[in-house]
Amino acid sequence: MTGSPASSAAPRPWQSQPDKEGHFGSFGGRYVPETLMPALAELSAAYAEAKEDGRFQDELSELLRDFAGRETPLYEARNMSQRLGQARIFLKREDLAHTGAHKINNVLGQVLLAKRMGKTRIIAETGAGQHGVATATGAALMGMQCLIHMGTLDIERQAVNVERMRMLGAEVAPVEAGSCSLKDAVNAAIRDWVTNVADTHYIIGSVVGPHPYPMMVRDFQAVIGHEARRQILERAGRLPDLLVACVGAGSNAIGLFHPFLDDEVRMLGVEAAGHGLDSGEHSASLVAGRPGVFQGASLYLLQDVQGQVHEAHSVAAGLDYPGVGPEHSLLKDLERVSYTAVEDGQALKAFVRLTREEGIIPALESAHALAALEDIVPGLPADSIVVVCLSGRGDKDLAQVMARMEDAS
């Protein structure tokens, strides 16, 4: 672990907040057109104020408790623990949060902030539709107008989530440009925000984008780690040895990890190796990417030799993203967190295994974290404690998994 050069009282490098421009080491920042700067400055100022305001924090806590169903349980997966040996494995049950995943934690924080800023309109972009559904849910709760930008290809592929968004009162705006998917929806959302910033807040769904989003989304998701820390101390009487979470753009993982960064706790982020790291069809930005600039920030990114952004692939739609948040990028370089990647097939097996073994159907995204345990846990010292973020539930993935199982049989 990187020691502090000055004295033991000096802050450790990962402990510090990003600087005023949002840099995590050489990552993060604000690589955006001049026209976006005033909106980002306004958002930064409003967030800094809200963060220090007890009334804002109380209101958010109440929503997280009564609306989202927090705190989520920390469940000891005894059947899995017994099979793998060596460790007590605990699952942080974000699948039990309202709308079925951790995304609601961030959305509730941001809609509350938008209301405080006097905004009346919420926009977001979505690929798989999960962030769109969470955003439409938050907007309905706050009585705000809501527009979700979504590529026409994704609208076709994710019909059920499009229906959910529309039922919640959101408008889903088809984006017919480029590859008609997430990247193009992001561009449409940014244009919308620049044009309508007076009444509109743009909710980014993970720890990416220009400052202050990576910091702000991390803070809102850190509720996962704060709860888990308290729960494991109560249950096991000590801190865990290892934390494990899947990494798409990185929000559920940083949410679990961040409150433990100063502790002697190992951490493992699990990316999607898709069809295999050698196939070129994967989403392993940290394991197989290089630093670059993408959607407003410097971060680890999948790119070809010319620096062109490379299409990502994963069986899990929520991991199918070519970049990863700037704070993870720094934590990787500091070797404070380890990162690995598991393939589609391993994740599918882990999906079925948890369902049969514990009676919990995990999201395919979360199944990547579970798959990583198979190799790691048997090699741990006896009586280790492992906490895994079960980022979401897998009902959304059933059709896809069943089709794959039929293919395989």
User: From the list 13, 289, 318, 323, which residue makes contact with ligand PLP (rule: CB under 6 A)?
Assistant: 318
* CA–CA distance, 280 with 299 (Å, rounded to integer): 19
Q: Is 248 in the site for ligand PLP (CB under 6 A)?
A: yes
CB-based contacts of 340: which residues, under 8 Å, 6+ apart? Answer: 268, 269, 270, 271, 287, 372
Q: Is 358 in the site for ligand PLP (CB under 6 A)?
A: no
Which of 81, 92, 94, 103 is catalytic? The answer is 103
Strands 27-28, 23-24: parallel, antiparallel or unpaired by DSSP?
A: antiparallel
Which of 71, 94, 125, 271 is catalytic? The answer is 125
For 87, the token pair is: 């460790």
- Are the beta carbons of 63 and 99 closer than 8 angstroms? no
Per CB under 6 A, which region of 12-20, 49-57, 118-126, 247-255 contacts ligand PLP?
Answer: 247-255
Residues 112-151 that bind ligand PLP (CB under 6 A): 130
- Annotated active-site residue 125? The verdict is yes
Per CB under 6 A, which region of 243-251, 256-264, 339-347, 397-405 contacts ligand PLP?
Answer: 243-251
User: From the list 344, 366, 371, 373, which residue makes contact with ligand PLP (rule: CB under 6 A)?
Assistant: 366
User: From the list 251, 329, 340, 346, which residue makes contact with ligand PLP (rule: CB under 6 A)?
Assistant: 251
Choice between 146 and 319, CB closer to ligand PLP:
319
Site string for ligand PLP, 172-211 (x = CB under 6 A): ----------------------------------x-----
Per CB under 6 A, which region of 250-258, 299-307, 334-342, 378-386 contacts ligand PLP?
Answer: 250-258
- Annotated active-site residue 51? The verdict is no
Residues 252-281 that bind ligand PLP (CB under 6 A): 252
Choice between 56 and 67, CB closer to ligand PLP:
67
Per CB under 6 A, which region of 45-53, 176-184, 240-248, 260-268 contacts ligand PLP?
Answer: 240-248
282-315 burial, b if ≥16 CB within 10 A, otherwise e?
bbbbbbbbeebebbbbbbbbbbeeeeebbebbbb
Residue number with the smallest Cβ distance to ligand PLP: 392
Which of 206, 251, 329, 391 is catalytic? The answer is 391
User: From the list 91, 108, 249, 370, which residue makes contact with ligand PLP (rule: CB under 6 A)?
Assistant: 249
Q: Considering only CA atoms, which of 354, 388, 32, 15 is closest in space to residue 193?
A: 32
* CA–CA distance, 21 with 296 (Å, rounded to integer): 12
- Annotated active-site residue 391? The verdict is yes
Q: Considering only CA atoms, which of 102, 98, 112, 117 is closest in space to residue 46?
A: 117
Give the CA count within 13 Å in the CB-facing half-sphere of 115: 16
Q: Is 225 in the site for ligand PLP (CB under 6 A)?
A: no
Per CB under 6 A, which region of 22-30, 151-159, 249-257, 347-355 contacts ligand PLP?
Answer: 249-257
| Strand ranges across the sheet with 74-76 | 74-76, 87-93, 384-390, 242-246, 266-274, 338-343
Strands 87-93, 74-76: parallel, antiparallel or unpaired by DSSP?
A: antiparallel
User: From the list 250, 289, 292, 296, which residue makes contact with ligand PLP (rule: CB under 6 A)?
Assistant: 250
* CA–CA distance, 280 with 247 (Å, rounded to integer): 18
* CA dihedral of residues 4, 7, 8, 13 (deg, nearest 10): -30
Query: How far are the Cα atoms of 246, 261, 340 from residue 285, in angstroms, in the given order?
Result: 12, 21, 10
User: From the list 70, 92, 98, 103, which residue makes contact with ligand PLP (rule: CB under 6 A)?
Assistant: 103
Query: How far are the Cα atoms of 291, 296, 324, 348 from residue 320, in angstroms, in the given order?
Result: 18, 18, 11, 15
Interface residues with ligand PLP (CB under 6 A)?
Answer: 101, 103, 130, 206, 246-252, 318-319, 363, 365-366, 391-392
Positions marked catalytic: 103, 125, 391
